[in-house]
Structure 1
């Protein structure tokens, strides 16, 4: 009797599965990539490249813009189709698969600006960073200079970034379907896209209007501010909001809508960690250490010298970054190994459990089956991944040592032999924790190459080798995030792979162009200017530290570095081991480290953004949940778009007509 009942239930379920497949007829993968989608991706990706480059060269901190890119793609195509319909042209329906393609392509494009090294390891090779690191520093060789060039930067990015597209293709099904890794950012993006295409037009129109309203306000505000910024330390960006004494210690609100919008996207913990780091460094430590001039470091040294106050700023921030990075690196690797072992051990048990579907979970199982079927049906041949990786690896082993003579070919070869396992570990760990550890894998390569290459070649070899490992780990992880998004939106993995390739190719061109827009128009790398590029100096000093050891540190700096390294480890341990009531209040050391070198002003801007979100949720949670991404995207994109005309005016030597400045009475 029980056997017959089970057979009946099985037949009913199979019939429902067939009906579900009949209901959901998806367009083929060739139809999911459209001309209008590619155009929208180029526009969004290029604009976000400029925005990400500004954030890279000012604070060195860029929030995740995946959800914002998905929303902007929806706004772009909806506006496009409405305009065409009003003029009498017929348009094809806008599907969530096409929206996913736009999000994937545009994110792949701007990700090159985020992780391409323009604010860190590539810029760390230029002469200005070499001089800031100390000409008299033994490990800082005069031969370790390679100034930015459009040609070699584009070539380097095409070589190192495209390899990452092929490395994890064979493991696509294992990580998405077999292991069911969550990839929280990719899942959240899919939820937003599915929601946008299933909700009523009333809410969609509100989001579009909200985006356009705040986009216009932010664009006009950027234009208005420009008139009052005639010289250095002029304008609203230098407004002494808390008094002149606080302004001297970088505590002021600089009216940047980009940072306010970024603060609305980032979590409350990120923003409060930034503020804590700013108070600890610029509010307490730097004034106290500055008063010890003549005792801890010579009086005649300028503050910008690495043997002076600047050395403490750089190396203490490095120790926080390394402590946080090493702890999370070990944690994620151990967590991944334990998880893989557990999955392999209980694999057969899981397979049996997956067949036991109760009535309440029946619809969920049907959805899972549909998503699995779509994901597996659009198979990417194994030979594409293997052939692509081998071909690009051979080209890189041949070309990169010519581009960087200090980087020996056998180092590059070893890097590409190790890269697949590192990329898997990073993508697996990100799927579990949503923490992309690519920068930490890059730092490991940096220290190893610096130590192996010696004093003459160590800095260049370390910075270039860091870029190889970081790019492969980052691009492959981003692709797996997009595969997770496509899994839930039932977009074709083939379309996602091709979209990622198109976006990467566009990004390898737009990112260097965006960089040179700033590099030619503004004083990039000036520690007293707006575009400090803090991570360029940090990465170069990490390479010098790998070459020279602790001899590069100023007096008593080593003890402070040990303390902050231990602080980062202990804070992370408390967060993981203590009850949530205590752990959730622990700051993020990686975020605390950023204002140590940059200043406090951007942390105040971002905290204002988090305050707006907090109050909005208190007043109207439902409206805040739907409108915060639209408002934040509008604030970021409006001021970000103003950067283009501002850069053109700067290149044309057209200065603002007014200088607004505040002086003591």
Structure 2
């Protein structure tokens, strides 16, 4: 391969291995672990993480341990991370964190074949949408795509310093095994996961705090997530928990707006009473929606530039980048793939969710526009505004259809397009920096997505059967799905669907949520100190114990960074991902133990 770029950080060797069976297989396997982990994490707190870096590090560690006769190459590592990120993103792209569980909360039964068909159809839409944008955003404008750039540099560094890379892989594995064993042990001894201090010490104040969710939840996954999100988001979570569960919640219960004696109840069908959680979640949803929509509105320049980029990309495709056009993705591939994925999505949407074909076509059209904006947003900030994209679609479809299924699943199409387009573009950025073949990456991504579906859907079904996703007493509260469901209910039923006086709470939440992106936009010096609207809103939806443990993780982030900065830079990602992956896999194990009726010891 003779191509060179001014950004390129690695020059491939003549005849260097790239799209090999072992690289793709490793990526699919590691991506399956990531998507299973993301399902558990996303259904618990509403977030998921990318699989690129994790697949790259573990793939390198795997082959370093195996020591094959033919050495594992840099370009193979790139294929492993591409397939791994494609598979790992399926928890989000297939709608299994938001629209699908929201449908379940509404009592809609989705057949297993329908979940597989839907996941496969919409996941490929986003990949096809990313291809024609590559030349404009990666080659011409050279947008940074921080995760893609970090992954490329990590791969090069691993091969330059094999000992350090193996150390990271081992640390990740050790923490993963430790988290796995702890959470599986907590199945048999539940006190390990939530120590009942209020009972042990018989202190009434602790009992009251526990009733309102302020208790210690020992969760390696959430502590690891706190290590990833950092102090600003961690502080936003604990601030939201205090505002929602310690201040607002008791106030509205004492006034009588949420009279159920158990504050964790959303709505009790028998007594027809709202719990505090059912009231304040509307405030949290409003904060999240406003944060997403105002951020989009303030990014109007991004919209305009994205549209110009689309025009240029559609005119020139992915060609003219190198002297070897055989490495580029032919226009016929993505155009044909987009047409097939669109047809499949339209058919599945009609058969499974009874969405009129015309409305599905409109949703796909919106997806092409909003996925473009999402790609540029990721390129500039590393943030994919999937939630905001989904809310835009929900608002548009709420004006033309009263069907909640149409509202949710049309937004799912937009969310999938944004999710997969952004994921694919990060991978293409990595490949661009490494001098890899876009065509090889495209094939690896398609295979990774296919394998990811066959990991994600069965794991989701196991979780749903074992834990009743989204239920008031479920460990998987699905906060993102709660938000999507709430918007769909308002769009279909109007404000009559709200608890008493919750409309005013939503208005206050909307104003507050819109204030944060405005401050960051017009007063950039205050941006590091401005709360995260997404995190603040989620803290109103999930029990306070989840916010507490994530805040402790972000506190550990600050202490570790200041105390041992070199160790922090080298190992923080490995430690956090190990904790998240270990509990994610343990969650699957515990769900299976629940389904087959294995009793706990206490």
SS of aligned partner of 2:96: coil
Q: Which residue of 2 aligns with 1:385?
A: 334
Match among 572, 588, 602 for residue 628 of structure 1: 572
Alignment of 1:283-322 (within 5 A): 283-293=246-256, 296=257, 303-305=265-267, 308=274, 309-322=276-289
- Which one is further off, 158-167 or 388-397? 388-397
Structure 1 residue 622 displacement after superposition = 1.4
Structure 1 residue 298 displacement after superposition = 6.1
Structure 1 residue 288 displacement after superposition = 1.1
Q: Deviations over 1:376-411 (max 9, x none)?
A: 661111111112112222333334212222x11111
Q: Which residue of 1 aligns with 2:193?
A: 236
Q: Which residue of 1 aligns with 2:562?
A: 618
Question: How does the TM-score come out when normalised to structure 2?
Answer: 0.89
Alignment of 1:46-57 (within 5 A): 46-57=32-43
Match among 226, 237, 251 for residue 187 of structure 2: 226
Match status 1:74 vs 2:60: yes
Q: Which residue of 1 aligns with 2:176?
A: 215
Q: Is the 8 A contact 1:448 1:546 kept in 2?
A: no
Root mean square deviation, CA, Å: 3.0
SS of aligned partner of 1:417: helix
Query: Matches of 1:516 and 1:504 in 2, distance apart?
Result: 18
Match status 1:644 vs 2:575: no
Alignment of 1:516-665 (within 5 A): 516-580=461-525, 582-658=526-602
Question: How does the TM-score come out when normalised to structure 1?
Answer: 0.81
Structure 1 residue 336 displacement after superposition = 4.2
Query: Matches of 1:473 and 1:403 in 2, distance apart?
Result: 22
Query: Matches of 1:211 and 1:396 in 2, distance apart?
Result: 38
Q: Is the 8 A contact 2:363 2:411 kept in 1?
A: no
Query: Matches of 2:127 and 2:3 in 1, distance apart?
Result: 37
Q: Deviations over 1:216-255 (max 9, x none)?
A: 32223223322212xxxx5432544893322222122211
Q: Which residue of 2 aligns with 1:423?
A: 371
Q: Deviations over 1:66-106 (max 9, x none)?
A: 3233222222222222xxxxxxxx52222222112111211
Query: Matches of 1:227 and 1:448 in 2, distance apart?
Result: 48
Q: Is the 8 A contact 2:378 2:422 kept in 1?
A: yes
Structure 1 residue 439 displacement after superposition = 2.7
Alignment of 1:417-566 (within 5 A): 417-454=365-402, 458-566=403-511
Alignment of 1:58-207 (within 5 A): 58-81=44-67, 90-126=68-104, 129-130=105-106, 145-199=107-161, 201-207=162-168
Q: Deviations over 1:162-208 (max 9, x none)?
A: 12221232232111111111111211221211211122x33234323
Query: Matches of 2:91 and 2:173 in 1, distance apart?
Result: 25
Q: Is the 8 A contact 1:255 1:605 kept in 2?
A: yes
Q: Which residue of 1 aligns with 2:211?
A: 248
SS of aligned partner of 2:189: coil
Query: Matches of 2:3 and 2:450 in 1, distance apart?
Result: 43
Q: Deviations over 1:99-145 (max 9, x none)?
A: 1211121121121113322232112122xx23xxxxxxxxxxxxxx4
Match status 1:264 vs 2:227: yes
SS of aligned partner of 2:89: helix
Q: Is the 8 A contact 1:61 1:594 kept in 2?
A: no
Q: Is the 8 A contact 2:123 2:420 kept in 1?
A: yes
Q: Is the 8 A contact 1:568 1:589 kept in 2?
A: yes
Cα 1:609–1:68 shift into 2, 3 Å:
farther
Q: Which residue of 2 aligns with 1:85?
A: none
Cα 1:45–1:205 shift into 2, 3 Å:
closer
Structure 1 residue 525 displacement after superposition = 2.3
Query: Matches of 1:43 and 1:192 in 2, distance apart?
Result: 20
Match among 36, 45, 55 for residue 31 of structure 2: 45
Q: Is the 8 A contact 1:59 1:534 kept in 2?
A: yes
Structure 1 residue 27 displacement after superposition = 5.7
Q: Is the 8 A contact 1:40 1:77 kept in 2?
A: no
Q: Is the 8 A contact 1:46 1:110 kept in 2?
A: yes
Q: Which runs of 5+ in 1 are unaligned?
A: 1-14, 82-89, 131-144, 346-370, 659-665
Structure 1 residue 448 displacement after superposition = 2.1
Q: Which residue of 1 aligns with 2:202?
A: none
- Which one is further off, 442-451 or 317-326? 442-451
Structure 1 residue 478 displacement after superposition = 1.1
Q: Which residue of 2 aligns with 1:403?
A: 352
Query: Matches of 1:102 and 1:374 in 2, distance apart?
Result: 26
Highest Rg: 1 or 2?
1
Query: Matches of 2:581 and 2:413 in 1, distance apart?
Result: 30
Query: Matches of 2:14 and 2:235 in 1, distance apart?
Result: 45
Q: Is the 8 A contact 2:50 2:88 kept in 1?
A: no
Q: Deviations over 1:518-563 (max 9, x none)?
A: 1222232221231222333322221121122223222322222111
Q: Is the 8 A contact 1:323 1:569 kept in 2?
A: yes
Q: Which runs of 5+ in 2 are unaligned?
A: 199-204, 313-319
Structure 1 residue 335 displacement after superposition = 3.4
Q: Deviations over 1:298-344 (max 9, x none)?
A: 66999422872344222111110111011111123333426877999
SS of aligned partner of 1:53: helix
SS of aligned partner of 1:237: coil
Query: Matches of 1:435 and 1:298 in 2, distance apart?
Result: 39
Query: Matches of 1:459 and 1:340 in 2, distance apart?
Result: 30
Cα 1:471–1:60 shift into 2, 3 Å:
same
Q: Is the 8 A contact 1:168 1:420 kept in 2?
A: no
SS of aligned partner of 1:654: coil
Structure 1 residue 25 displacement after superposition = 4.3
Cα 1:560–1:491 shift into 2, 3 Å:
same
Match status 1:32 vs 2:18: yes
Q: Is the 8 A contact 2:237 2:536 kept in 1?
A: yes
Q: Is the 8 A contact 2:125 2:342 kept in 1?
A: yes
Q: Is the 8 A contact 1:63 1:262 kept in 2?
A: no
Q: Is the 8 A contact 1:42 1:106 kept in 2?
A: yes
Cα 1:398–1:311 shift into 2, 3 Å:
same
Structure 1 residue 491 displacement after superposition = 2.1
